[in-house]
Structure 1
């Protein structure tokens, strides 16, 4: 009912079912979350047609109703029908200009999209690949960085005197990717740092709310980040070994990694008769890379993210990554998740480091005999990219990573330590943070976050 947009019927069914259940049961929690999911969906889809038209006419003043209808009917202006009302996604208008060249040409004042410098081929990619190939090492060009992360709860979001609990994402040591992580400072000073074994690692802190004042949490740490590159020879790649340790990375994992009929059909069309694991990986990587990027609704509102990415025909980084992971596993190729932050430096691409940082998701694929290698399908292929010796770097992000990212997570939808009592705002990823108090979870409209990275001089 929720996925079909029948919210009134869903609410009636939830209310009736809750009345027959014990106060504590998994089924009760699931029903309460469906009620919360509807609330979150309505926050994401808050525009009616007049709102969406007005927002679009700010950029296309002479917009015709027929144009709007054509784009909406083609699925280029994301919307849902909820209890008979057509409601538009808050980011549907900005997404339209990424999805439709025709719409982009109609803008009265076209501005370039604010993409990160690593999304275009540059000297950093060349330096990593050349250093790796000349040294024979897959981890090269380490950079020492200092990171400051903050989370600020809105004033009076929590009653004065109540304890505000916050979880701020914190990186794990990953040999050859990010190492020597040292926590320098925090506010408040008392904290619980989750052990490195926790796949979605966090720093947990608590502080009492004060009337009329925001409640601020912060951490600062240093770490060393490496560029990574594997010069993969497809002819050397072997079938996936029969290793029980790889089993988890080959399996379905509902609700977001499921081998649905639609994904099976898509996989058959893309893979064809190919049997080489690397060539299959290349084909699937290229197919998912062709799905255009668009700003996404909150993951907690989507019942199956990989299927959603395939069905809508556009996706953000996490949706693309989960789709690729699902397709790889479907073809017997182990794949797993990573996510965190990407950032910039004044030395790269002419973008000042303070002007760009963003949430980002990517992954890893297992290719014998190389083992686990990185993959970033959203940054994707780099057509025409070559190094100083004319060697192609088109597939840099299938086996390589730039050194301008921090991984907070080596898995998705896993628990925190200490455990969060109430629903998470982000049920899949962990990049912005989480907040709650005894009265419940604090959703994203009740707090803000910030991130700053400084690349330290040698």
Structure 2
């Protein structure tokens, strides 16, 4: 019995030493370097091969010009120039002349999500007047099975894998009747209302020769929302409230009031006192100057709004953080919101925002969808400044906050939370070591 006790004590001590060694060996600098190598994985020759599909006679001088302008994203890593994994396609989104060349060759492409939104917006507008409590409409009921699969042998057999999956929020008026149907593990933890990132947490031991699979099935109803805001509806802010102070303040690392951003916000809103009209100016300026482009991982960027200004493009989350920062500088309460766009055959990660107008309340803003042609056709070009389509799953009310239960190692996505997060005692499992998938059944579409 005494020998057994000694063995147990030895194993506990050995395990503790191993954990300390593992903790001591972790380096964010090394982790970041590997993340950059993953994102910047192409050679110049590979990128040129893509560009030649549209510009057969591309020259080295053109390559250098595009690199200088930020239209062709690259960096020096380990002594060699490496290009972003989507540098080629992005060039034909960012550079106006390249965009015209591709358009002439392939014609105008209308996305599946745009087609769904073009049908949805008139439905929302017809059912609401944008006033009072009658601003929710066109509900879409969905049953979702979300699956995260860790690669076979990514974790040693017998080790516990910790997993956080995205889960629809239950504290959002336009997201209702959330119902958990099934989970892959009998034991799980759901976050409480008000937690920044809404998650379903589970654990599972890795098995040799098998992938480690986590899944959840749930239902929820998503409503479209529309506030037909008139400038006269917006009252002066009470600047003494906690809401105003909190949502007009800086937040490390991506809502920072740098001198350049302060000057930009002042220039955009100069001579205008009405908060709604200020927001309109910011919304239009960002829409007109920063085309959508596929983004590198947010965890590799020091300050996302500054990155957008430097590179003259941004994806949904990047332009959203720029919009939120400029609004806060201009004295308009704003916060980041994100999750998924859920249009049939077009679901994807997506980020947007909310702004607060005194006398109206919080309203949604999708800077990435911006002044959409289908919104203009519906007679409401600024629909996405005060409105949002029905095809959403809201998961996050802010960015970069702790998960519940707390994660030991830095997240794969340190800013947003959408795909999920996974780790074990040996470290974080990066996106390269697992995959995710969502099956959606549309119950009233």
Superposition map of 1:347-386 within 5 A = 353=344, 355-383=345-373, 385=375
Q: What is the match of residue 216 of structure 1?
A: 213
Distance 1:272 1:375 in 2: 22
Distance 1:384 1:147 in 2: 28
Residue pair 2:233, 2:360 contacting (<8 A) in 1 also: no
1:413–1:113 Cα change, 3 Å: farther
Q: What is the match of residue 314 of structure 1?
A: 313
Deviation at 1:343, TM superposition (A): 1.8
Q: What is the match of residue 301 of structure 1?
A: 300
Deviation at 1:385, TM superposition (A): 4.1
1:95–1:231 Cα change, 3 Å: same
Superposition map of 1:50-69 within 5 A = 50-58=45-53, 60-69=55-64
- Give 3-state SS (helix, strand or coil) of 2:428's partner: strand
Residue pair 1:104, 1:110 contacting (<8 A) in 2 also: no
Whether 1:77 aligns to 2:78 is no
Q: What is the match of residue 133 of structure 1?
A: 129
Which of 30, 34, 43 aligns to 1:39? It is: 34
- Give 3-state SS (helix, strand or coil) of 1:241's partner: coil
Superposition map of 1:438-453 within 5 A = 438-453=425-440
1:63–1:134 Cα change, 3 Å: closer
Distance 1:70 1:257 in 2: 30
Distance 1:36 1:134 in 2: 48
Distance 2:375 2:399 in 1: 32
Which of 185, 193, 196 aligns to 2:190? It is: 193
CA offsets, 1:39-77, max 9 Å, x none? 211221122323322343355444333333332232211
- Give 3-state SS (helix, strand or coil) of 2:27's partner: helix
Q: What is the match of residue 395 of structure 1?
A: 382
Distance 2:444 2:391 in 1: 15
Distance 1:232 1:105 in 2: 36
Whether 1:407 aligns to 2:394 is yes
Distance 1:254 1:295 in 2: 24
Q: What is the match of residue 457 of structure 1?
A: 444
Distance 1:135 1:366 in 2: 15
Deviation at 1:397, TM superposition (A): 0.6
1:47–1:277 Cα change, 3 Å: same
Residue pair 2:149, 2:434 contacting (<8 A) in 1 also: yes
Moved more, 396-405 or 109-118: 109-118
Which ranges of structure 1 fall in alignment gaps of 5 or more residues?
1-22, 345-352
Residue pair 1:119, 1:379 contacting (<8 A) in 2 also: no
Residue pair 2:319, 2:368 contacting (<8 A) in 1 also: yes
**How many residues get paired?**
421
Deviation at 1:232, TM superposition (A): 0.3
Deviation at 1:396, TM superposition (A): 0.6
1:109–1:186 Cα change, 3 Å: farther
Deviation at 1:82, TM superposition (A): 3.8
Moved more, 53-62 or 361-370: 53-62
Which of 408, 413, 417 aligns to 2:404? It is: 417
Deviation at 1:84, TM superposition (A): 4.9
Q: What is the match of residue 265 of structure 1?
A: 263
CA offsets, 1:275-325, max 9 Å, x none? 111110000011111211111110111111111112211001111111111
1:191–1:56 Cα change, 3 Å: same
Deviation at 1:216, TM superposition (A): 1.1
Moved more, 400-409 or 262-271: 262-271
- Give 3-state SS (helix, strand or coil) of 1:133's partner: coil
- Give 3-state SS (helix, strand or coil) of 2:67's partner: helix
Q: What is the match of residue 106 of structure 2?
A: 110
1:185–1:113 Cα change, 3 Å: farther
Distance 2:86 2:425 in 1: 32
Distance 1:316 1:134 in 2: 29
Distance 2:177 2:116 in 1: 29
1:39–1:406 Cα change, 3 Å: same
Q: What is the match of residue 285 of structure 2?
A: 287
Superposition map of 1:104-253 within 5 A = 104-106=99-101, 110=106, 115-118=111-114, 122-133=118-129, 137-242=134-239, 243-253=241-251
1:264–1:436 Cα change, 3 Å: same
1:86–1:174 Cα change, 3 Å: same
TM-score, normalising length from structure 2?
0.88
Distance 2:168 2:283 in 1: 26
Residue pair 1:145, 1:454 contacting (<8 A) in 2 also: yes
Residue pair 2:142, 2:221 contacting (<8 A) in 1 also: yes
Distance 1:396 1:119 in 2: 16
TM-score, normalising length from structure 1?
0.86
Whether 1:329 aligns to 2:328 is yes
